[in-house]
Amino acid sequence: LQKSLSETFGADQYSRARKEVLTYMFSRPMQMALYFCTGVLKDETLFHHYALNVPFYTHFTSPIRRYADIVVHRLLSASLGARSPLKMEKEAIQKQADHCNDRKMASKRVQELSADLFFSIFVRVRP
């Protein structure tokens, strides 16, 4: 898809802008990743990562960025025996995951609305 899009953008002064807009438009409808507690889900096929085509997948970044990443780090550390297990029931972990998902969706929506607002202002000031 990326190669196909790159070939259609052309080489004029607006090609980069067209590429950014179309890439954003194509990726916007893709389903966002969701946090979940594996102990709550019975269907292991839900652990599959579609794009990477791996049956079991977990994602985390630096634990200073998001609370969900702290939880993943703690759970992985406990599973490797590097720390004691978390004293949380799986339902409580799922409740935290749901909260993180809600906040992530709200943040994404604000980002989209901010971009829409900026574009509206840009169009208004440019005759």
What number of CA atoms fall less than 13 Å from residue 124's CA on the CB side?
A: 6
Show Cβ contacts of residue 70 under 8 Å, excluding neighbours closer than 6 positions: 63
50, 53, 57, 58 alpha-carbon torsion, rounded to 10°: -60
- Lookup result for tokens 């052309």: 10
What's the pLDDT tens digit per position in 74-103? Answer: 888 998 999 998 888 999 999 999 999 999
Q: What integer pLDDT is reported at residue 56 of this predicted model?
A: 82
Q: What integer pLDDT is reported at residue 2 of this predicted model?
A: 66
Q: What integer pLDDT is reported at residue 7 of this predicted model?
A: 73
What's the pLDDT tens digit per position in 26-85? Answer: 766 666 778 888 888 888 887 888 778 888 888 777 777 788 888 888 888 998 999 998
Q: Say what the pTM is.
A: 0.65
In this model, does residue 23 exceed pLDDT 80?
A: no
